[in-house]
Amino acid sequence: MAKVPAAAVAASGLIGGYGVARWTKKRQLGGVVLAAAGAAAAQQWKQQAGGKAAGALTAAYVAAFAGSHPLAKKMGAWPAVFTVAGAVALASWAVADRQG
């Protein structure tokens, strides 16, 4: 079975978490998706790039989630989510996925 890159897992968590929260109108469900994908990506980051890199990428993931909120006021919700998801995916690829 092919391994899903951590970049895709992290980006999917941000996009999927927002989508679930929006479509179900239950923010907690979106949070579950966000947290589950973040935990899965963090585990992959640790295996591929080590603990320090995993910590930095996890912080970037959380910062992207938090940063999407004020960004959404400037550009709209979906564009903000896609922007931060792309940024986290790029960081993940550069730090962890590219190596391994």
pLDDT at position 99? 72
Mean pLDDT of 80-91: 98
State pTM to two decimals.
0.93
Residue 34 has pLDDT above 90, yes or no: yes
Mean pLDDT of 11-22: 98
**95 to 24, 37, 46, 55, 77: CA distances (angstroms):** 34, 18, 11, 12, 27
Compute, in degrees rounded to 10, the torsion defined by CA atoms 51, 53, 57, 62.
Answer: 50
Residue 85 has pLDDT above 70, yes or no: yes
pLDDT level of residue 100 (50, 70, 90 thresholds): low
